[in-house]
Structure 1
Amino acid sequence: MGAKTTSYTVVGLGIIVSLIGWYIRGELGAGILGFGLAHIVLGLLDTARPSVK
């Protein structure tokens, strides 16, 4: 798997986790939503990073 593929996989999982947190609501849902959003941001930042060969 390439570096970009891994980054997009992390973003995709972050979207799924964020949606789960959105539907749970409450403090637990807010924590899960934040965890998912952090994965989305970090995955997107990882795509911008130059890869080393």
Structure 2
Amino acid sequence: MRKGILPAMLGIAVTGATIAMTDIDITKRIMHHKGREAMLTSGLIGFGLAHVVLGGLDLINNR
């Protein structure tokens, strides 16, 4: 198995699950609701996207 597949798949799963568990319009909800839930949602989306990017870079570097 290639080296960057697992982090990329983890990132896709975390980002997808976070978006599925929140409302449809995430940006509007985060901008108007400055609570813990909005911060947690932003953090989880960032965590997932960081894994996607780092896994993709691993895949590109190990050709």
Structure ranking higher on relative contact order (CA contacts 8 Å, 6+ apart): 2
Structure number with greater Rg is 2
TM-score higher than 0.5: yes
Please give the root-mean-square deviation of Cα atoms over the aligned residues, in Å.
Answer: 1.9
Change (3 A) 1:13 1:50: closer
Higher helix share: 1
Q: Normalising to structure 2: TM-score of the pair?
A: 0.63
Identity of aligned residues (%): 35
Q: Deviation above 6 Å: which 4+ runs of structure 1? A: none
What count of residue pairs does the alignment treat as equivalent? 48
Give me the TM-score of the superposition, normalised by structure 1: 0.72
**Structure 1: tracts of 5 or more residues without a match:** none
